[in-house]
Amino acid sequence: MREINGLKLRTEVLEKGRVRDKTLLDIGAGPLGIIAARDFNCKVVSIDISREKLREVKKEAAREGIKGIRCELEDATNLSYKDNKFDVVVSYGVLHHIPLDKREKFVHEAYRVAKEKVIIAEYTAVGFNLAHPGGEYKAVCLEWLEGELKSLGRVERYTGREMNIYICFKSKNVTHKNPTMKESQTTEFKKSLAERKEIIENYRFYNA
Ligand SMILES: C[S@@+](CC[C@H](N)C(=O)[O-])C[C@H]1O[C@@H](n2cnc3c(N)ncnc32)[C@H](O)[C@@H]1O
């Protein structure tokens, strides 16, 4: 994968997410977790579905003498952690690696294990084409992502040329077992669900 604005962009994500001194789950192991432990004093658990990737991050952390990071083999669409386990859950450039039919589960799992907020940084069309010109993955429909996060909590959005950052704040009085179902009882939700379906259909059409 071609690096876009590399480490600077990851630092910006962590700054905007105000992660200093937090416990942090980093979904999709890479430099972001190392930066969080080294420069933001986070206690990081970096997870990945690839043992190879975890080995790389462990090696790099050892090389830099960073103590505050642990690597664990996990599938982000089916996490073994209990609800509210981490102050912050962050995913930087991972969602487009997830098959379309598992992306909703990914977002809900991240939300479930977060206590305060979920940060998702994902490519815009420009960034995606620069990073993955070969067409091996499907770009994330950012309108859909924002809608999905808004169905869970208040969302702050930062738009960039190559990446957007979404921060979803967890609301204290929502039960986390199945937030979508819970909200489905409201007219507001049904309206947003219809809008989301339309967005997803359009997305499929454009990507067909
Ligand atoms: C672009 S990399 C992540 C970059 C990293 N966040 C960084 O700071 O550079 C995407 C990672 O997501 C991982 N991944 C893909 N599917 C996954 C899943 N279901 N659960 C956990 N990790 C997954 C891939 O193995 C890959 O290492």
Instruction: Write out pLDDT tens, residues 144-171.
Output: 999 999 999 999 999 999 999 999 999 8
Q: What is the best residue among 94, 95, 102 to mutate for testing ligand 1's pocket, by most ligand atoms within 8 Å of CB?
A: 94
Residue 184 pLDDT greater than 80, yes or no:
no
Whether 137 is in a domain gets the answer: yes
Residue 186 pLDDT greater than 70, yes or no:
no
The SS3 call for residue 153 is strand
Whether 1 is in a domain gets the answer: no
Residue 2 pLDDT greater than 80, yes or no:
no
Alpha helix ranges (H) inside 17-141: 31-39, 51-64, 103-113, 125-131
- Cβ-in-10-Å burial (0-12, 13-18, 19+) of 188 comes to exposed
pLDDT for residue 201: 52
Return d(Cα 179, Cα 111) in angstroms, integer.
10
pLDDT for residue 6: 72
CA of 47 to the centre of ligand 1 (A): 8
Domain count, the chain: 1
Question: Which CATH number is 30's domain given?
Answer: 3.40.50.150
User: Is this model's pTM higher than 0.95 or not?
Assistant: no
CA of 184 to the centre of ligand 1 (A): 31
Q: What is the domain extent for residue 40?
A: 6-207
Whether 155 is in a domain gets the answer: yes
- Cβ-in-10-Å burial (0-12, 13-18, 19+) of 161 comes to exposed
Q: What is the best residue among 14, 97, 104 to mutate for testing ligand 1's pocket, by most ligand atoms within 8 Å of CB?
A: 97
Whether 65 is in a domain gets the answer: yes
| Structure confidence by residue, pLDDT tens digits, 125-144 | 999 999 998 888 999 999 99
Give yes or no for residue 60 CB within 6 A of ligand 1: no
CA of 182 to the centre of ligand 1 (A): 30
Query: Of the candidates 184, 182, 185, 158, which has an alpha carbon nearest to the alpha carbon of residue 171?
Result: 182
Residues 185-204: what's their mean pLDDT? 49
Of the candidate ranges 35-39, 91-95, 192-196, the one whose mean pLDDT is the lowest:
192-196
Residues 49-58: what's their mean pLDDT? 98
Helix then strand count (H, E) for the chain reads 8, 7
